[in-house]
Chains A and B, each alone.
Chain A
C-alpha cells in the first residue's frame, strides 16, 4: 500500500488515460449500432451479413488486431488510435447483435398500435421503438463497457498508456503489488462505468425500475453470444 501512496500521481494519471481511452469505443459502439441494428432487425439479408461480419471481427484476438491496424490505417505502431479503433471495432461487433435483439424485443402489437394512432415511421422509431428497445440495448452496452475497460490494458503491450502499464511494469520489476493495484483500479473503473450506465438507464427509462428479476440471465446470455 505504501507503493500506492508514493506513486499516487502515476496511478491516477494512468486511470485518467484509461477512462479517456475506453469511453470512446463505448460511445462509438452505442451510436453506430443503432442504424446497423435497425437494418439487421429489418432485413434478413442485412442481418446475415452484419452478424456474420461482427462475429468474424470479434473472433480476432485483440493483441493481433492492435498490431495489424497500423498496416491498414497507416498509423504509427505506438499510436493510441490503433487501440481505440480496435476497441471500437469490437464494441460495434457486439452492439450490432445486441441492437438487433433489442429492436426485435419490441412487441409487434405496440408497433402496429403506434402506426394506427398516426405515428410516422421516423417518429415511431425514435419515440416508441428506440425507448422500448432501451433495456436490452443497455444490457449489451454494459457488456461492451466492461470488456472494453478490461481489453484496453492489453494495449500496454504495444506501449499505449493505460492502467495496463502497471501490469507490464510490475511484471518486469517482479513486483506483484503493482499488478494487484493495477487490477484493482481497472476493476474499479469497470464498476464505476457500469454503475453510471445503470443509473443513466434508470434516469432515462423510469418504467424499468420495477421490472422482474430476469436481468442475470439476460446478461449471461449476452456474454455467451458476445
Chain B
C-alpha cells in the first residue's frame, strides 16, 4: 500500500500539476491526440461502414479488415510506422487512425446488418427514399452498435496513445514510460493510475452520451429484449443475435 501512497503523493504534489511536463499539460496532449485521431477516424470509418451496411456490398472486405486489425500487434505497428516516417505527432496520429477505423467500421456495419430486414422493407414500401431509410430507420435502430464501435475505438486510441511516451512524445503515458526507464516505480505507478483514471472517465462520459444518442424507443426495446422471452427477432442489446453458427 506504501507504493500507492507514494504514487498518490506524486499525483497531488502541486509542483507536478501545472507547467511544462506537468500532469495537466500532458493530459491536454493526451486528449488532443485522442480527439484529433478520433475526428479523422470518424470521417473515414462511419460513412464507409454505413455504406457497406446499407448496400451489403464490400462486407467481406470489412470482415477481413476488422479481423486482421485485431490480430496485428499495435506495438509493432507503431514502431514500424515511426521508423519509416520519423518521430512526431503526425505519425502517431496516423497509427491511431489506423487503429480506430476498424472498430468504427465494424460497429456501423454490424449495426445496420442487425436491423430487421422486414422493417427496412416496410420503410421502402411506404415510399421512403434510400436516404430516408438510412437516416430515419437504419441509423436510429443501429445506434447502440454504432455507438458501441465509437466507444471501443476511443478507448483503444486512449490506451495506445499511452505508448506515445515511448517514442519521444508526451501524453499521460510519458510518466509511466519515464518511470520504467528510470526504474522509478513510484513514477510509473502514478502514470498508470493517471492513464487508468482517464480511460475510466472517458468511458463513463461516453456511456452517458450513449444514453442521449440512442433513441428512447430503441433503448426501451433493448430493455425489453433482455428478459429472456424467446424472441425470434434479433436481440439488439449491444450485439447481434447469435444464431447457432459455424464459427
Complex Cα spacing A176 to B83, Å: 7
Interface residues of B in 6-28 (CB under 8 A from A): 7
Chain B residue with Cβ nearest A63: B162
A157 in contact (CB, < 8 A): yes
Complex Cα spacing A65 to B176, Å: 11
Q: How would you classify the secondary structure of chain A's contact residues: helix, strand, loop or mixed?
A: helix
A117 in contact (CB, < 8 A): no
Complex Cα spacing A57 to B30, Å: 21
Binds A, one of B37-45, B127-135, B188-196, B208-216: B188-196
Binds B, one of A4-12, A26-34, A167-175: A167-175
A110 to chain B, nearest CB (A): 10
Interface residues of A in 106-126 (CB under 8 A from B): 107-109
Q: A60-B199, A154-B75, A224-B239 are in contact. Are A67 and B245 (CB under 8 A)?
A: no
Option from B77, B166, B196, B242 in Cβ contact (under 8 Å) with A136: B242
- Would A182 and B192 count as touching, CB distance under 8 A? no
- Would B180 and A158 count as touching, CB distance under 8 A? yes
- Would B244 and A136 count as touching, CB distance under 8 A? yes
User: What is the size category of the interface that chain B forms with chain A?
Assistant: 35 or more
Q: A67-B180, A71-B189, A139-B247 are in contact. Are A61 and B159 (CB under 8 A)?
A: yes
Q: A61-B199, A220-B109 are in contact. Are A183 and B244 (CB under 8 A)?
A: no
Complex Cα spacing A68 to B192, Å: 6
- Would A67 and B71 count as touching, CB distance under 8 A? no
Contact partners of B80 in chain A: CB under 8 A: 167, 176, 179-180, 183
Q: A223-B70, A224-B152 are in contact. List 13 more A-B contacts (CB 8 A).
A: A59-B200, A61-B196, A63-B176, A77-B185, A157-B180, A170-B79, A179-B76, A208-B244, A212-B243, A215-B247, A216-B59, A218-B242, A222-B239
Which B residues are closer than 8 A to A by beta carbons? 3-4, 7, 59-60, 62-63, 66-67, 70-77, 79-80, 82-84, 103, 106-107, 109-110, 113-114, 145, 148-149, 152, 155, 158-159, 162-163, 166-167, 173, 176-177, 179-180, 185, 188-189, 191-193, 195-196, 199-200, 203, 226, 228, 230, 238-247
